[in-house]
Amino acid sequence: MPATVPETSLPSINSVPEVVNPIPADNPIGAILLSKRHPLLLRADFSRVSELVSQIYLSTQFQPIWFTANRSEKNLNDLLSILNNASNDALNPANYDVDRLKQLINEPNPDSAAVAGYDVALTVSMARYLHDLRHGQVDPRDVEYPVHIAPKPALDLAGLLKQHLAAQTLTEVVGQFEPKTKQYQQLKQIFTRLQQLGNQTGAQEFKPGKMLRPGDKHPHIVHLRQRLRDMALLDNNNAADSKTYDNDLVAAVKKVQQQQGLTADGVIGSATAALFNQSSSEKIAQIALAMERARWIPDTTDGPMIVVNIPAFELWAFNSVDDPNPLNMKVVVGKSPSNQTPVLWEEMKYLEFMPYWNIPKTIYEKEILPKAANNQGYLASQEIELVRHQNSEEKGGGSYLRARQRPGKKNPLGRVKFVFPNTADVYLHDTPGHAAFNRPRRDLSHGCVRVSAPEQLAEFVLGDQAGWDKESIKQAMSAPKTRHVTLKRAVPVLFYYGTTFVDHQNQLRFYPDVYGQDEQLKKALDKIHAPTTASSTANNQIVMSKSTDVGTNP
């Protein structure tokens, strides 16, 4: 036991030092920062970036950075140019008050209080844009579907802004905040191209008006052929003016049907025809959602990586960012809507060959226990055993009975599982039942991801690890005992939800929104989007700020 400390040595309540806020309330800039609201902006509440903005002014001792005695017109023009070009990254310039800032910059002879308000308005808009560009407009942890991705580390905005303002190279700061992932850059290129092309629907819509079967003739077949060429599913050698639904067209249509979760029979009904009538504006809107999701992904480094695109029901394993021939296989993901596979980013740490299945409590109680109650020998027939599990001291100690299934042909994890510790307790694994991989829609699991080619995935993961080759992996996957293999080099794993996704051949793919997450993301974005026109009250506040102390009217 520690020695008793005399009461006289304990500090009194009155002697506890008072925490001093470094932001001065009697300073016009400080008053705005403390309020975390700005009356000159369409979205007055800037609490999401208030810490970033405060750090910027802390480094200047709460003095203006834009409206200085030797103000730089180049920096001001660069700021407006950056925000005007936000649309290049599928961001809305109106959300960053571009028109309002132009007014503030051109205001003649503002007094000191007005200057403070104007200066903070510019800084808040810049911080908002750079934050949205790097992290996304929506925090993925705030949406209503499972996301297990830690926030990206923050960049030193205060230091970078000070550096680029001094050098008058403000436009260069954008590249430091823009996502570096290949997926984001590919989406951005396609987004820009579609914006330049504009909306191309109308005169050449593919609306056959009836069901088309292989071999049928129809004048709109020429429009279908062009759509398939635009999607890079048909080469230019196919006769452009033919009105016959020929074998090449049928094969291409089947690919699209399969991607969209439709029966891949090549028959064009109303659902299939609709796939080829998506306008450029509709595609642009979908790509904008994909770019928002891509901002959530941590910047990747070169090296092995595994990506599961949930709505595509596919896995890709890359040896490097520019790997031209990644490993690709079908997967089964969590069932919609009750057992959604989460979006996550973790590192694979180890493999287990011939694993036990530690049966989750909910599955045991809802699915297994009722069967065991009606059949005394059910647990033994399924090679399920009850084992006592000891809790750690951190969890309060004690023990409880846990159900687990022994390795073997009846084990749903199959012969190998790939583990990347995560709070959702999901992983990649083999399966004894491969018939499900033949289905076009494969959301069938409790949340984990079943892989169709486990041996190849094991070879990929253990590719640079001594002592492991095809034969040793095959032996481990048929051994009588469980074998735990720690990876010498952790492999990043991304579970991604991309209804719009650019594959390794740089082709844009559209997939069914199996979990309805596109609509949820749209709603979240709609909540934060600023109105496109200012209110009369906001306009009046610009005038008021010239004669009213900003600190007393935030």
Q: Is 148 among the catalytic positions?
A: no
Does residue 448 have an active-site annotation? yes
Burial class of 236 by CB neighbour count within 10 A (0 to 12, 13 to 18, 19+): exposed
Question: Do you find a cis peptide bond into 531, omega within 30 degrees of 0?
Answer: no
C-beta separation of 481 from 354 below 8 A = yes
Residues 158, 91 contacting (CB under 8 angstroms):
no
Longest dimension (CA), the chain: 99
Strands 399-405, 384-390: pairing kind = antiparallel
Beta bridge partners of 148: 344
DSSP strand pairing (343-353 vs 483-496): antiparallel
For 106-206, strand residue ranges (E) read 147-148
Euclidean distance between CA atoms 103 and 68, whole angstroms: 17
Q: Cα(467)–Cα(475) distance, rounded to whole angstroms?
A: 12
3-state secondary structure of 183: helix
Picking from 263, 242, 246, the residue whose alpha carbon sits closest to that of residue 254 is 263
Find residue 244's DSSP bridge partners. 217
Catalytic residue, chosen from 448, 484, 504, 529, is 448
Choose, from 131, 135, 220, 429, the residue flagged as catalytic. 429
C-beta atoms surrounding 97 within 10 Å = 25
Contacts of residue 265, defined as CB under 8 A and 6 or more positions apart, other chains included, come to: 254, 257
Half-sphere exposure of 87 (CA within 13 A, CB side): 13
Give CA–CA dist 358/402, Å, rounded: 8
307 contacts 496 by C-beta, under 8 angstroms: yes
Spatial contact of 355 and 417, defined as CB atoms under 8 Å apart: yes
**Residue whose token pair is 């032996």:** 475
The alpha-carbon radius of gyration of the chain (Å, integer) is: 29
Give the active site residues.
429, 448
